[in-house]
Amino acid sequence: DTGVSQDPRHKITKRGQNVTFRCDPISEHNRLYWYRQTLGQGPEFLTYFQNEAQLEKSRLLSDRFSAERPKGSFSTLEIQRTEQGDSAMYLCASSPRGVSQPQHFGDGTRLSIL
């Protein structure tokens, strides 16, 4: 168990640019989640995959955000035309099957928009 891995750890970009983050879940976990967290707040749900299927997507998410998990393993989160308000920590989590199974979080990607 090598844990959930996220890349990059930090991303600084100018407003209007596109960014892409990667998440590698724990290998036997079929469920994968993306969250956004700002300072002093709890994680805010963005989207959820079961294997390669994207089963839930937050209504708060604008169409500038898209996520994929093409082979049911790693996932990518892309933000197009970034805005100041996108500055946050983006967390990925994974969990195995089972209703009592908790999520295991990665260390996150911190995005700063200049």
State the Cα–Cα distance between residues 103 and 96, nearest whole angstrom: 8
Cα–Cα separations (whole angstroms), residue 56 to 5, 27, 31, 63: 22, 21, 11, 14
108 is a contact residue toward another protein (CB under 8 A): yes
Which among 19-27, 64-72, 78-86, 94-102 is the span making contact with another protein, rule CB under 8 A?
94-102
Least separation, in Å, of the C-beta of 100 and another protein? Answer: 6
Which among 11-19, 22-30, 38-46, 73-81 is the span making contact with another protein, rule CB under 8 A?
38-46
State the Cα–Cα distance between residues 36 and 44, nearest whole angstrom: 5
Note the residues at the interface with another protein (CB under 8 A): 4, 33, 35, 40-45, 48, 50, 55-56, 91, 99-100, 102-108
